[in-house]
Amino acid sequence: MASPTDLVSEALSGSVRALAKLITMVENELPGAVEALQQLYPKTGHAYIIGITGPPGSGKSTLTDKITKQLRKKEYTVGIVAVDPTSPFTGGALLGDRLRMQDVTNDAGVFVRSMATRGTLGGLSKATADTIKILDAFGKDFILIETVGVGQDEVDIVKTADTTLLISVPGLGDEIQALKAGIMEIGDIFVVNKADREGADRLVTELSLMLDLSPTTSPWRPPVIKTIAPTGEGVPELIEKILMHQQFLQSGQGLSKKRNERARGEIINLIEQEISKYIHKMLKYDLPFDEVIEQVVARKKDPYSFAHKVTEPFAKYYQIYKVDKPKS
């Protein structure tokens, strides 16, 4: 098997095969994954990341493909990461859609990767973040993350984007009500897809009204765009708004602020995962953990006191390093 360094240099000189292998390596946390990411990291930061989210049936995949085609017309290269948490009841609908939409995948300027493994080590959002970095280092101008917006995980994934499109469709019922529940603030551009359906104009009006009423200090007022993905109607206007939002972010502190926040979150995740590995090993080997569990189940010990006991040395380390007070 090729070394991480070989794979990295092959990918950086344009090998799609090496690129795919690197993603698999990272997704499964195979040996060499961290080394490869360390080597690739300095080459990242060029790509612009677009998040595309919406409920099942809102036409995200078709829209992603149309956006991709428009970007290709402008000679941008594109990476697509389709994140499907394979929710137990919806199966893998997104991936099914992806398979049906193969026209963009025959274009060498487009690389499509699906993330569906529920059991991905380190979590789906880490795998997605790492894949984005690899595609970024590979030289893609735009990376589209497409995800079903049904849970907190997926929202977290799409939050890592520079520009987020929130897709809704008329007739799914209670759209506005649902948007209120906490997703409104992640949308930079609101897309009413399937705009040839009844109720599209009303949905646009309701979204606009809600945006006008929402308490925000940002000078960016998210536009509401109507599209009909299969015919491509509205997609050029959507691209225009995406580029406007990009310019908006680049002109002020917006983009660097977003990217700082993203780096902060990522570092914290990395640290937590590393520590978590030690804890798992520790519980496996050091302590008579099985006995402890028996005692907890028998109500002779409580789990809270035991957890406290295990973490005490960490707490001590933390005090030695005098981190309980802000530095003067």
Question: 263 to 282, contacts with its own copies by CB under 8 A?
Answer: 263-264, 266-268, 270-272, 274-276, 278-282
Sequence-separated (6 or more) residues with CB below 8 Å from residue 312: none
3-state secondary structure of 164: strand
Return the H-helix or E-strand segment holding 26.
helix 16-27
> Furthest-apart CA pair in the chain: how many Å?
69
Q: Does 293 bind its own copies (CB under 8 A)?
A: yes
List of E strands, the chain: 48-54, 78-83, 110-115, 142-148, 163-168, 189-192, 224-226
Which of 12, 20, 121, 150 is the binder for its own copies (CB under 8 A)? 150
Cβ 167 vs Cβ 193: under 8 Å: yes
215 binds its own copies (CB under 8 A): no
| 179-198: contacts with its own copies (CB under 8 A) | 179-183
219 near its own copies (CB under 8 A): no
Q: How far is the CB of 236 from its own copies (least distance, A)?
A: 27
Is residue 90 within the footprint of its own copies (CB under 8 A)? Answer: yes
Question: Torsion angle of alpha carbons 181, 154, 191, 113, nearest 10°?
Answer: -170
Question: Stretches 69-77, 211-219, 229-237, 308-316: which one binds its own copies (CB under 8 A)?
Answer: 308-316
Q: How many beta carbons lie within 10 A of that of residue 85, not counting itself?
A: 22
Q: Minimum distance between the CB of residue 110 and its own copies, rounded to whole angstroms?
A: 25
The one segment of 6-14, 188-196, 203-211, 258-266 that binds its own copies by CB under 8 A: 258-266
Site for its own copies (CB under 8 A): which residue of 14, 91, 236, 252?
Answer: 91
Tell which one of 13, 75, 108, 177 touches its own copies (CB under 8 A).
177
